[in-house]
Chains A and B, each alone.
Chain A
């Protein structure tokens, strides 16, 4: 598509949603990016007006609008606080798809998304090779946090303190799994997600241990693929569709009560974004998408909502002080904030303390971190300051991507604070 007339016609399909924006500007007060840059093009109101300007041909600079649209953490703070209920994330994702169809994908993204990510088995193999060779070009940065940094690679990765790839990915270690329903009477499909699989296999172990403990049967096909969010947020609808289809094939026909994930971003992608793009699929596929989406749930929410964790359990006053960071994709998108805290409070080893601004974004934003590291880190450092001020020895959360970002920030400041997934804390205390 290179016809601007066609582009404006496509953008008009978003008009009903965009016109709901009153331009009141209240999104400025909650946007983590605006706080950092004070640029109006960074907030939802600014982006919606840019798209409106393009649609009405007040401006013709498509790439200029696309660059500003892409400069977004997709945290959903604006949508969660919008007085007139503008669904900013849906507008932005759909607009990214439209603008990418017009401008085309950059060669780098095309290589990563279409060349690798969209082919789950190939993607696995590339990262296995990476796991074997990473120690050749990096050195340990923090023993406590298990991070590395790399001078050789600094032109590509900057000053990052990164969590290295796991030696053996989770799916390879466990293989496909199908365990019978136990005391709970429930069967869960386990969607581990890329980061748990390739960087944090311990989270996967913890989920399995918790489910086993509560007598939940597990169905875990290792043919599952990425949830598609990296492709979708790059506007690459074709790779997104390939990945959704791979997952439908892996999970589609089996009977289970819930699709459980330990990743806030995967949860909200499957629950909210898959149905948002259902019209891109056949009717049968769309029906499967809706069924799967409705069953998708965060691991903490699953355990609490299913009544597996007693409401009367007494609050623990353990030895380890822990705080909790609300991932945007759980709290702002899915309104889940009580259940992970409930898990912590019923873990005997944990003494829970709230940090200030627990639900403010950590600045990761997925690929935003890769493309705008300095801005991402500036937002991350505010989160780090709040973690340290809480006095907690451990910060927990429900999203591996947030874990990587917080680990990087804490490691760079040499803080004696560890980063763990809520389910790791909970499962470690189970006997």
Chain B
């Protein structure tokens, strides 16, 4: 329980309207987007400037209160579910873009800036911030950095970590730590910004983040290819890459997802197709034209039954409609949607798709698979009802098997959703006991009282 005196201290520091202790307010921050039970915090704090943020963290540390930092709460692995009776520290009060520098191609932002709003502001200045996680309409930059969020453009443009140039963050004691720079090159001191990226709120709390910007591509071309065999689609993906073409987006939908999308959006997709590839190339107009032509040849050579290239912005929009509708279409089929993100080396995608189908058969579950074929990051989506206890046990076993399959193919547990609570039990299977021990030592050194998002990533 948090004492009345301490609550008053927080109120003096942050203003009473930024301190919430009523049960009904706390309950609204007890969950995130993961399929996990909610946990009730005892206080929700929303600092609106750096000074207040640092002092808030220090007060929490002095009082040994566990702190879970929260932006939009879209985490898919439970990383923003608080500790029982702990603190939820909101970044939404610090949501200003501090600078967009067109000469030096960087931006400085506060942690609570919404990703899509930032990308739009950057675009308005004629520049480009490529990371586009599925939740970008609401997700925050600090959350993206803390999870190293990905998106559809990973294959060509990389993920969030490739755009983090530096940052200020508060350590567990509330002291401000500076790292990185506004320069392209910077080897001053350890790469703490690298350590903080994907740290899932365990090592510090972001105060300001410096992000790299790039010039936008001058042209793009979206294409759709339909296959009556999964092998044809997989071979196409391999051939595109081996022909030295790097599309900005290369997405795959399996037959189940195609049927769900067609039922939902009536986009005119062939429901008997085994796979659908959605491909977009971008860059200089001449390069785009040449690459699009090569992509078409490769698709046809691998037996695509239908090929369609968008001729206008409207048609491009239509091509992507199928992909955008995928999660919605699947989510509507059953009450509970478990969205996984096991990732394998690109060449192993056909094996991974087969393994997922095998898991679905073995446990009599409905799994639709779509995702980023170009970077090996698939989203097997298990459709279930968590209230059905027997089925839920099978879902848990299926998830175990999917991770086993990904690891045996040389892949990884999580491409972009993070470890959080949901996957911490699998961590040793991928990185081993000594790696976990090494991480624990770092955690112990930087957060001796274990107040920063305790119990996440590393099992206690």
Mark each residue of chain B from 86 to 103: 1 if its CB lies under 8 Å from any CB of chain A, else 0.
000010110000000000
Q: How large is the interface on B (under 10, 10 to 19, 20 to 34, 35 or more residues)?
A: 35 or more
The 8 Å CB contact of B72, one of A25, A59, A85, is A25
Q: Hey, which chain A residues are within 8 Å of B332, CB to CB?
A: 20, 84-85
Tell me if B328 counts as interface (CB < 8 A to partner A): yes
**Distance in angstroms between the alpha carbons of A38 and B327 in the assembled complex:** 26
A29 touching B31 in the complex, CB below 8 Å, given contacts A58-B40, A65-B24 = no
A41 touching B28 in the complex, CB below 8 Å, given contacts A24-B135, A25-B33 = yes
**Distance in angstroms between the alpha carbons of A25 and B140 in the assembled complex:** 12
Q: Hey, which chain A residues are within 8 Å of B92, CB to CB?
A: 38
The 8 Å CB contact of A24, one of B29, B40, B74, B336, is B74
Contact A46 B33 (CB under 8 A): no
The 8 Å CB contact of A64, one of B23, B73, B138, is B23
User: A17-51: which have CB < 8 Å to B?
Assistant: 19-20, 22-26, 28-29, 38-41, 46, 49-50
Chain B interface, >50% SS class: loop
Q: In chain B, what residue has the closest Cβ to A31?
A: B138
Q: In chain B, what residue has the closest Cβ to A24?
A: B33
Contact B335 A20 (CB under 8 A): yes
Q: Hey, which chain A residues are within 8 Å of B31, CB to CB?
A: 23, 49
Q: Hey, which chain A residues are within 8 Å of B385, CB to CB?
A: 19
**Distance in angstroms between the alpha carbons of A350 and B137 in the assembled complex:** 36
Q: Hey, which chain B residues are within 8 Å of A143, CB to CB?
A: none
Contact A84 B331 (CB under 8 A): yes
Q: How large is the interface on A (under 10, 10 to 19, 20 to 34, 35 or more residues)?
A: 20 to 34
**Distance in angstroms between the alpha carbons of A46 and B109 in the assembled complex:** 27
**Distance in angstroms between the alpha carbons of A53 and B38 in the assembled complex:** 9
Contact B33 A41 (CB under 8 A): no
User: B385-410: which have CB < 8 Å to A?
Assistant: 385-387
Contact A19 B387 (CB under 8 A): yes
* Distance to closest chain B CB from A43 (angstroms): 9
Mark each residue of chain A from 1 to 27: 1 if its CB lies under 8 Å from any CB of chain B, else 0.
000000000000001100110111110
**Distance in angstroms between the alpha carbons of A60 and B24 in the assembled complex:** 9
Mark each residue of chain B from 16 to 51: 1 if its CB lies under 8 Å from any CB of chain A, else 0.
000000111101111111100010100000100000
Contact B135 A26 (CB under 8 A): yes
A53 touching B27 in the complex, CB below 8 Å, given contacts A20-B335, A28-B72 = yes
Contact A16 B22 (CB under 8 A): no
A59 touching B27 in the complex, CB below 8 Å, given contacts A53-B38, A84-B331 = yes
10 closest A-B pairs by beta carbon, nearest first, are A64-B24, A84-B331, A29-B137, A41-B28, A46-B28, A83-B328, A40-B28, A19-B335, A28-B138, A53-B27
- Which residues of A pack against B, CB within 8 Å? 15-16, 19-20, 22-26, 28-29, 38-41, 46, 49-50, 52-53, 58-61, 64-65, 67-68, 83-85
Beyond the given A15-B387, A39-B28, A68-B24, could you list 6 further A-B residue pairs with CB under 8 A, ordered by the A residue number? A25-B138, A26-B138, A28-B138, A53-B27, A61-B24, A84-B328
- Which residues of B pack against A, CB within 8 Å? 22-25, 27-34, 38, 40, 46, 72-74, 90, 92-93, 114, 116, 135, 137-138, 327-328, 331-332, 335-337, 385-387
